[in-house]
Structure formats: structure tokens, C-alpha cells
Amino acid sequence: MFDWIAGLASWELLALDPPGWGGVLLAGLAVSLQVAVGGYILGFLIGVGGATGKLYGGPVIRDLLDVYTTLVRAVPELVLILLLYYAGTDALNQIMMLLGAGPMDISGLAAGIFVIGVVQGAYQTEVLRGAFKAVPHGQIEAARAYGMTPLQVLRRITLPGMLPHAVPGLANLWLIATKDTALLAVVGVAELTLVTRQAGGTTKSYFLFFCAAGLLYLMVTLISNVAIRRIERFARRGMPEVR
Amino acid sequence: MGPETRSWREPHRLVLIAIGIGIVVLAATTMRWDWLPRYSGRLIDGVGTTLWLLALTSVLGFLLAVPLGLAQAAGPWWLAAPARAFCTVIRGTPLLLQLWLLYYGLGSLFAYWPEIRQSWAWPYLRQAWPYGVLALTMSFAGYEGEVMRGAFAGVPRGELEAARAYGMSPWTAFRRVWLPRAIHRALPTLAGETVLQLKATPLVATITVVDVYAIISRVRQDTYLTYEPLLLLALIYMILTGILVVAFRWLEAKVPVKGA
């Protein structure tokens, strides 16, 4: 009856070389991290554009951005990922057909980055817009009165001023991005969660592999937390301590 | 939205609304919706399952979050440390992974265990939904437990001391002052957490629980349609989110706020 304990402790299954699955898991983790980093950066670019549009854009742009952020935040990530994955690959293939090329084989990695980026973009738009609005308007006016150019105002006043308000939200979104990559398992991207399930399915040691993958995700989160705390301390330098 | 929210009757908004209606009409007339009547009954059942999962796991999760928050805010270290570890693990790993760990991992371990196979619980443990409920409950408890920790810690000391000075026992002071004040402080986060929980429920379809997402997946397999079922699904979730947001706004207006 204690067979399963033996099954739990068969550590050689986690060996890095082929009879073990450790190397496969680490490769999956690498894919997850690439998607998370790529999607986060794409989301940041969308967020900067979106926040700028919401603050300075005309009424039409502002309303369209409102529709974008509201839609993305009201629909489950899983459904968005399916929709964007199929729509994105379809649209790209249509364009390739129009250009006369055959259907393109889109890598799961690129599609994943696109999908995570669009989802992250909606949330980052809101975070950046809020942080920008937290900079007192008088400071910007004072900088202008000193004769600073708009770029100097951005570099010297606005960016340092909004950083402490943006860092907690952006840090939280980074942690969400790393965990949202797991949803790409549903569309067949070979990231950590999917390869873990495949490893479990082949060896029947589901419990061992899911625990190992959980530890990997947890390590990513804990290491991120250490880095976040440093960045936050830097961003809040000269400001009163928060409990 | 704030003060910059303007009326929908402005000219550019009327144009945008007209374009939106045009897209909906175009989608309704040019896309294939003939499968809809055949599946409408099952879709309604699926929405019911989704809402039932949401309600059950949010309530259970909140009940679990109260002791988790209390243990971290005021418990001795041997209670605070495991509670903090639980919240860290739940918040630090993807829900999909937790769900699969419970369903595939624990489920396959149980099968090796003759004591469990012969017990009264086995007919339930062979099904998928207990694992879905457990994973969603733990997830809600993990995130909300962190909120409750802050809420318990944020209740002013003076109020608790006043309660003690009135001769309340620690339990009475907890029941009458500390807990209600902490829940009051946590209320604003509850709306957001519940919407997040709604958006997490479709994950249970990956372990064969038949919620509205699973029905839509079924439609996609049967009809070979890609977009129509998914668009309908997105619409259903948007409506559910909207209802939740309005309901919580109504609830928050009911709860008196000091100084308001």
C-alpha cells in the first residue's frame, strides 16, 4: 500500500538528462519566462501609449481606450487568450495570403507574447494613468516656469514623481504576467505547466512533477519579490516610510 | 471615471455607438448562429454551474480567509508562519497548476490508497468538481487572507482596548468589535476579488467540470466554429461581470461609512 510513497520519492525522475525530466521542466520554465518578459514589455509599451492616449488623446481615442481596458478586464484571461490566439494567427495568415506567401507557421512563443502583451497592456494603461495623475500639477508648472523643455520636465519631474506610485502596481502586474503564462498551456504552448502535465502523464508521477513545477514558479515569485523591494526602496527614496 | 465622465449623447459617442451596433448587426447576420437554439438549454445550465461555483467558493474562501488573516495579524508564530506560508504559496503559483496538482496529483495518489477507495468519500473523490471547488476556495482564501491580515492589523488598538475596558471577554470583543471592523475595512476589496474569482472559474473546465466554458468548448468541437462560440462566451462573462459590479456597488452603498 505504500507504493505511492516510493512513487513520490523517485527523485531520479527529476534528473536533468533524458531518462529524467528535469531538463524538460527547466526548458519549459525558460519558455514561460520568455513569454512573461516579452509580454510584460509589450504590455508596458501598450500601457505607455494607452495612458498617454487617455490623458492627452481626443474624445474618440479616449473612448476607444476605455472600451479596450473595460473589455479586457471583464473577460476571463483564458477566454481572451483563446480569442486572441486564434484571431491573431488567423489575421497574420490572411495578411501572408494577401502578400502572396503561403500560410506561416507562427511560433507558440510569439503568439504567447502577443496575447499576454495585449492583456497586460490594459492593466498597465490604468496603472500608469493613475501614477501620472498622482504627480502634483504645480510641480510640472514650476518646472516649466524654470524654462525646462517638455523632455526635461518628463525626465526630471514627471518620471521620478510618478515612479513610487507606478512601482507597486507594475510589480503586481509582473507577478500576474508570470502566472498568466500558465494559461497558454490550454492552447498548446510548451511552457512550464504544459510540459509538467506531459511529464506527469508519461511517468504517472503527477504529484512529484506538479510539486516541482510549483517550486519553480514559487522561486520566480520570491526572487521577483526581493528585486521589487529593492526597486521600491529606490523609487521611494526621500519619501516617508510606509508600514 | 470621475468628473471627466460625460454624457453618451455627445456627437462622437453617438457615432461610436452606431459603429458598435453596426458591428453587432454584421456579426449577427454574417456569422453562423444556427447552433444557438440547440445549445441554449445547456448554456443556461452551464451559467448556473459557473455562478454556483463562484458563490460557493467565494463564501467558503472568505470563511477560510478570516482565520488565515487573524493568525497572521495576531497569532503566535506557530500559527502565523503556516498561514503566511499558505498565502505565499497560493499567491506565488498559477491557479491552473494548483488545480492540476490537486486533480491529477492527489487524485492519482488516492487511487493507490485502498482505505480511501473503500471509504464513503470515494464516489465523490472520483468526480472532478470537489477538486475544482477545493482549488478555487484555497485560491480565494489565499488572496483574501492577505487582505484580512491587513484589515485585522488596521483596526485601531484603542477600539479593542475600549471593548476590553467595558468588560467584554476577548471572544466577545472579537465578535462585536474586531471582526466586524476588519470585515468593514476589507469590503472594498471584496468586489474586485469576486470579479477575479469569476474570471478564474473557467479553469475548472480543464479538469472536466461542465461550466459554461466547457459547454462552449463542446460547441466548438461539434460545429468546427472558432469565433462565434468564443464571442458569445466573452459576452456572457461581460454581462456576469457587469451584474457583479453593480450588485457590489449597491451593497457598498448599503453599508454605512463613518463620516459619509
Residues of A in contact with B109 (CB under 8 A): 4, 8, 207
**Where does the pLDDT of residue B3 fall: very low under 50, low under 70, confident under 90, or very high at 90 and above?**
very low
Of A26-35, B39-48, B58-67, B117-126, which range is least confident? Answer: B117-126
As a whole-number percent, the residues of chain B with pLDDT over 90 amount to 45
Give the pLDDT confidence of A83-132 residue by residue, as tens digits. 888 888 888 888 888 887 766 667 778 888 998 999 999 999 999 999 99
Could you please report the per-residue DSSP string of A179-238? HHGGGGGGGT---HHHHHHHHHHHHS-HHHHHHHHHHHHHHHHHHHHHHHHHHHHHHTTT
The CATH number given to whatever domain includes residue B106 is: 1.10.3720.10
Supply the range of the domain harboring residue B182. 55-204
Instruction: Look at A183 and B94 and tell me if their CB atoms are within 8 Å.
Output: yes
**Where does the pLDDT of residue B45 fall: very low under 50, low under 70, confident under 90, or very high at 90 and above?**
very high
Of A11-20, A69-78, B20-29, B69-78, which range is least confident? Answer: A11-20
Domain count, chain B: 1
Cell of A180: 498568466
Q: What confidence score (pLDDT) does residue B64 get?
A: 94
Q: Is B15 a member of any domain?
A: no
**What's the mean pLDDT in B60-85?**
92
Give the Cα separation of A228 and B186 in Å (integer): 25
pLDDT above 70 for B58: yes
Nearest to B94 among A8, A193, A197 (CB): A193
Instruction: Look at B97 and A4 and tell me if their CB atoms are within 8 Å.
Output: no
Q: Is B98 a member of any domain?
A: yes
Question: Is B231 touching A (CB cutoff 8 A)?
Answer: yes
pLDDT above 50 for B260: no
**Where does the pLDDT of residue B131 fall: very low under 50, low under 70, confident under 90, or very high at 90 and above?**
very high
pLDDT above 60 for B2: no
Nearest residue of chain A to residue B16 (CA atoms)? A60
Nearest to A82 among B93, B98, B230 (CB): B230
As a whole-number percent, the residues of chain B with pLDDT over 70 amount to 96
Nearest to A214 among B97, B109, B200 (CB): B97
Cell of B237: 462573462
Residues of B in contact with A86 (CB under 8 A): 226-227, 230
Which of the pair, B3 or A240, is modelled with greater confidence? A240
Instruction: Look at B112 and A82 and tell me if their CB atoms are within 8 Å.
Output: no
Q: What confidence score (pLDDT) does residue A3 get?
A: 52
Nearest residue of chain B to residue A5 (CA atoms)? B109
Question: Is B189 touching A (CB cutoff 8 A)?
Answer: no
pLDDT above 80 for B75: yes
Q: Which positions ≥6 away from B136 have C-beta within 8 Å? A: B53, B57, B61, B95, B197, B200, B201, B204
Residues of chain A predicted below pLDDT 50: 1, 243
Give the Cα separation of B81 and A95 in Å (integer): 55
Q: What confidence score (pLDDT) does residue B105 get?
A: 85
Q: What confidence score (pLDDT) does residue B259 get?
A: 47
pLDDT above 70 for B226: yes
Nearest to B230 among A79, A175, A197 (CB): A79
Nearest CA of chain A to the CA of B68: how many Å?
20
Residue-averaged pLDDT of chain B: 87
Nearest to A217 among B10, B97, B203 (CB): B97
Q: Is B42 a member of any domain?
A: no
Q: What confidence score (pLDDT) does residue A208 get?
A: 85
Q: Is B114 a member of any domain?
A: yes
Instruction: Look at A83 and B95 and tell me if their CB atoms are within 8 Å.
Output: no
Q: Is B34 a member of any domain?
A: no
Nearest CA of chain B to the CA of A116: how many Å?
14
Give the pLDDT confidence of B175-225 residue by residue, as tens digits. 999 999 898 888 888 888 999 999 999 999 998 888 899 999 888 888 888
CATH number of A3-235: 1.10.3720.10
Question: Is B109 touching A (CB cutoff 8 A)?
Answer: yes
Question: Is B230 touching A (CB cutoff 8 A)?
Answer: yes
Nearest to A60 among B12, B96, B200 (CB): B12
pLDDT above 90 for B9: no
Q: What confidence score (pLDDT) does residue A50 get?
A: 93
**How many residue pairs bridge chain A and chain B with CB atoms within 8 Å of each other?**
123
Instruction: Look at B113 and A1 and tell me if their CB atoms are within 8 Å.
Output: yes
Q: Tell me the residue type at A48.
A: V
Q: What confidence score (pLDDT) does residue B238 get?
A: 93
Q: What confidence score (pLDDT) does residue B54 get?
A: 94
- The length of chain B in residues reads 260
Conformational region of residue B33, where left means phi above 0, alpha means psi within -120 to 50, and beta covers everything else: alpha
- The answer to whether A125 and A62 are in contact (CB under 8 A) is no
Q: Could you tell me what percentage of chain B is helix, strand and coil, using 3-state DSSP and rounding each to the nearest 5?
A: 85, 0, 15
Instruction: Look at A83 and B241 and tell me if their CB atoms are within 8 Å.
Output: no
Domain ranges of chain A: 3-235
Give the Cα separation of B90 and B74 in Å (integer): 21
Which of the pair, A76 or B29, is modelled with greater confidence? A76
